[in-house]
Amino acid sequence: MPTKKTPEELAAEAAAAEATAKAQADADAEAAAKIKADAEAAEVAAKEEQAQAIKAASDAAAKAAEERVTGLYAATPAGFEAVRDEAIKSGSSVAAFEALIKAAKSEAAKSHASAIGKDTDANATVKPSTGKEAATGDEAAATAILASYAKAIG
């Protein structure tokens, strides 16, 4: 048969059980606090990592834009500055800009060739001078000055 415990033994067991429960509760609270602290630290680390990734992407985009603008400046022939500025504003690539310049130069060459052809056709109808035209105005004055100079020289 079990022996009867004295009130002092029962009180000691109760105190020991209470101390064990308190120690367990303290350990559980400490573990919960550590878990919470670890979770907060992980959240802060994740936010920092995300901020670094955003900054890296932003830096890469800025560098690409700078390289594009530098390339557009390098590819700009004289007289095409306004076209370059529009290409910069529109976000055009260097390759697209170079193709646009090539097309514009080709069109300008065709236009120039056409103008030369029209001028040549127009000049074909001009008859050679007979040498009998009379000088007037500035031409007459220049001729008179040259004649008097020739006379003075001798």
Please state, as a whole number, how many other Cβ atoms lie within 10 Å of the Cβ of residue 88.
Answer: 16
Phi-psi region of 86 (alpha: psi -120 to 50; beta: other; left: phi over 0): alpha
Measure the CA–CA gap between 137 and 98, rounded to whole angstroms. 51
**pLDDT over 70 (residue 134):** no
pLDDT for res 40: 95
Q: What is the mean pLDDT of residues 46-67?
A: 94
Q: What is the mean pLDDT of residues 52-71?
A: 93
For the stretch 100-123, pLDDT in tens is 889 888 888 888 888 887 877 777
pLDDT for res 109: 86
CA 82 to chain centre: 18
Percent of the chain with pLDDT over 70: 90
For the stretch 1-52, pLDDT in tens is 567 888 898 888 899 999 999 999 999 999 999 999 999 999 999 999 999 9
Residues 6+ apart with CB under 8 A from 101: 75, 76, 77, 80, 83
Token pair, residue 74, equals 């390098």
pLDDT for res 126: 66
Higher pLDDT, 70 or 122: 70
For the stretch 80-89, pLDDT in tens is 898 899 899 9
Measure the CA–CA gap between 32 and 99, rounded to whole angstroms. 65
Measure the CA–CA gap between 39 and 56, rounded to whole angstroms. 25
